[in-house]
Amino acid sequence: MRDQLLQQYQELLTSYLNEKREDILYTAQQMSRWMMEQRIPPEEMVSVHAEAVKKKLPHLSPSVKDSFDLLIEMMIGYGIALKEHESLVNRQK
Amino acid sequence: MRDQLLQQYQELLTSYLNEKREDILYTAQQMSRWMMEQRIPPEEMVSVHAEAVKKKLPHLSPSVKDSFDLLIEMMIGYGIALKEHESLVNRQK
């Protein structure tokens, strides 16, 4: 599933970098909603983004690559809060 | 507050890029927790990261800069879910 996700996101990224249109950002919103329905946490989303950027821009500097590690770490806390959210919602059903 | 946040995150990023130590990632976790307590949404966190990276790496390619717009768009959905979470938690208090 992650390979498919990465490929779809990579196509989205390529489209957006080629031509910065608003409808591509709208597609991003829809993909984001789908990812949340699949319980994909935000740090995984950032990890997919990082991987897609590295593939798309192979001459990326090591500093940019390393900076993603820090962002992923920052996102883990948000991911934990979202899991809390899911369990609360489920408990109320 | 955002200027202070950006400066602190920029210092954290600089430290991590200079020397990739685990304790800096731990500091990132703590900063992330603080940001969530301040109700800073994940897309704002990514925006701060993007700004810090642009300042730290001024020769960053336009494609890398543009790619952040897409990631921010993806994160907005997660931010909305977290706001739902906050209102649920408050309602139960």
Does the distance separating the beta carbons of B74 and A78 come in below 8 Å?
A: no
CA distance A93 to chain B (A): 13
Q: How far apart are CA A70 and CA B13, in angstroms?
A: 7
CA distance A65 to chain B (A): 10
Is pLDDT above 80 for A88? no
Q: pTM value?
A: 0.91
- The whole-number pLDDT of residue B91 equals 76
Please write the tens of the pLDDT for every residue from A26-59: 999 999 999 999 999 999 999 999 999 999 999 9
Instruction: Categorise residue B46: left if φ over 0, alpha if ψ from -120 to 50, beta otherwise.
Output: alpha
Could you give the ipTM of this predicted complex?
0.91
> Mapped to the 3 state alphabet, what secondary structure does chain B carry?
CHHHHHHHHHHHHHHHHHCCCHHHHHHHHHHHHHHHHCCCCHHHHHHHHHHHHHHHCCCCCHHHHHHHHHHHHHHHHHHHHHHHHHHHHHHHC
Instruction: Give the number of other Cβ atoms within 10 Å of residue B69's Cβ.
Output: 18
Contacts of A19 in chain B (CB under 8 A): none
Paired tokens of B27: 């500091």
